[in-house]
Amino acid sequence: MSRLLIVDDDIQMLSALEAALRRKGHTVETASNGIDAASKLEKETVQAVITDLRMPGMNGLELLQHVRRTKPAMPVIVLSAYGTVPMAVEAIKAGASDFLMKPFSHEALDEVLNKLSAGGSGIRTDLQSAEIITQNPLMLSLLDQAAQAAKTQATILVQAESGTGKELLARWIHRNSLNHNGPFVAVNCAALPENLLESELFGYEKGAFTGANGFKPGKFELAQNGTMLLDEIGEMAPLLQAKLLRVLQEQEVDRVGGKRPIPIKVRVIATTNKDLRKLIARGQFREDLFFRLNVVPLRIPPLRDRKDDIAVLTQYFMKKFGGIADAQVDNETVELLDRYGWPGNVRELENIIHRAYALRGRLKITPADLFDQSVDTPESTALQAGHSVSEMERKLIMTTLEQTNGNRTHAARLLGISLRTLRNKLREYRVEETVTV
Ligand SMILES: Nc1ncnc2c1ncn2[C@@H]1O[C@H](COP(=O)(O)OP(=O)(O)OP(=O)(O)O)[C@@H](O)[C@H]1O
Ligand SMILES: [Mg+2]
């Protein structure tokens, strides 16, 4: 739920939108013109602004420029109507996060708001921090290279295993780049089918295909003067790879169904956890695109090759989840963390610590947290993001019980909980099972 400021001189529109947003659970402030909005922004704390463009006095574009100057991280969504489309495009160029074409449906409003809160594949105004914690010499020299590259417009290719911090590094580069005042736009190339990814990246014109009722600028246009993260580039279909290559070479995009190419000035960072050379050998990735992307190659080492980072990262995540500034980890735990292979890299460490706090309210990592290290099945050893803590807890309990051959006393000791708690948990699970069947 967010705190939003909506600005429109059309009072009916304003109150309808206010009511709709309140129903969705947002806290809403309103203003009927730009000047009013600017003064509200000084007094109130809001997380995003939704503003009409055409207003007397200070119009939406001027308000947007004011917000960009005074609160660079604040997302601004512009409302535009027929007749103000060029202004909406102008607004996107000036750093608006997104726009809504009036009249808009609830779904369209939801979509825009979801993108804002999820960070999803939408514009991210880089609200999250991009702090990279490391003391490893390889990583430090990698950050030196990244900092050098950040000062140029060169394309960067980050190749590394899953969970090593590829996206974090991309944000860090954006932060330290010449484009840091521009938008940071991320697109996950694996998340969308080919034709959707194409219109997502390059945009489309009205009538380009059935359902294209208006035009939509592509992510490249929205990333103008900023940074575009092409996540999981190895998953991009060959035909799109060819189109992307053209975009990078010509520095212009063609909207789907568009007549004129649109010049773009965007720094591209691509990431992959695949070995692109292998994909090239198999004919699944274009070599020319690889060379075009690989201007500055950055490889983040997996966590098992920089075990000296485990201690600092552990401290960092303990502070993050437990609020302990100077956390102590006992030797046994350090040894345990050190012996482990970390197939899920930093993300796995982060999840383990998060879970240790969630389950026990303090940090004591037991062998059960890492599951059975002798059984190297990714399914049981790697903790995957996206599971809820209660799912993980249940999985942990069941796996531990399996390992103790159903011996509850032994399992409870390994889990660091009382036998009674374990019994209660098992009873809960049984109830759930009978309910869901
Ligand atoms: N050096 C680091 N310092 C602090 N946090 C880190 C570091 N490296 C990774 N993280 C954290 O680990 C998690 C995973 O990082 P990120 O999403 O950037 O990885 P990724 O390589 O993009 O993973 P995937 O391939 O699964 O997309 C994030 O929560 C990130 O903040
Ligand atoms: Mg990633």
Mean pLDDT over 251-261 rounds to 91
CA of 408 to the centre of ligand 2 (A): 39
- Report whether residue 344 contacts ligand 1, using a CB cutoff of 6 Å: no
The reply to whether 142 and 259 lie within a common domain is yes
Q: Output the CA torsion 322→326→329→335 (10° steps).
A: 110
Q: Residue 164: CB within 6 Å of ligand 1? A: yes
| Alpha carbons 130 and 145: distance in angstroms, whole number | 17
Letter string b/e over residues 258-297, b meaning 16 or more CB atoms within 10 A of that residue's CB:
beeebebebbbbbbbbeebeebbeeebbbeebbebbbebe
Alpha carbon dihedral 112, 118, 123, 125, in 10-degree steps, equals 120
Domain extent at residue 281: 137-301
If 0-12 CB within 10 Å is exposed, 13-18 middle and 19+ buried, where does residue 369 land? buried
Please write the tens of the pLDDT for every residue from 78-90.
Answer: 998 766 777 777 7
Looking at the predicted structure, is the pLDDT value of residue 186 above 50? yes
CATH code at 155? 3.40.50.300
| Span 278-313, pLDDT tens digits | 999 999 999 999 999 999 999 999 999 999 999 889
Q: Are residues 353 and 432 in the same domain?
A: yes
Residue 124 forms part of a structural domain: no
> DSSP string of 283-308?
TSS-HHHHHHHTTEEEEPPPGGG-TH
Residue 132 phi, psi (nearest 5):
-105, 120
Is the Cβ–Cβ distance between 329 and 314 less than 8 Å?
yes
**CA-CA distance, 366 to 12, in Å (whole number)?**
60
165 Cβ inside 6 Å of ligand 1: yes
Count CA within 13 A, CB hemisphere, residue 398.
11
**CB of 168 sitting under 6 A from ligand 1:** yes
Residue 189 included in any domain: yes
132 in any annotated domain: no
Q: Are residues 188 and 263 in the same domain?
A: yes
Q: Is 384 in the pocket of ligand 1 (CB under 6 A)?
A: no
Q: What is the mean pLDDT of the chain?
A: 83
pLDDT for residue 129 is more than 80: no
Would you tell me how many other CB atoms lie within 10 Å of the CB of residue 254? 18
**For range 375-394, the mean pLDDT:** 59
Ligand nearest to the CA of 346: 1
The number of the ligand 1 atom at minimal distance from the alpha carbon of 158 is 21
Distance 344 CA to ligand 2 centre (A): 12
pLDDT at 128 over 50: no
Would you say residue 227 lies in a domain?
yes
pLDDT at 382 over 80: no
- Give the tokens for residue 116: 């804002």
Count of domains for the chain: 3
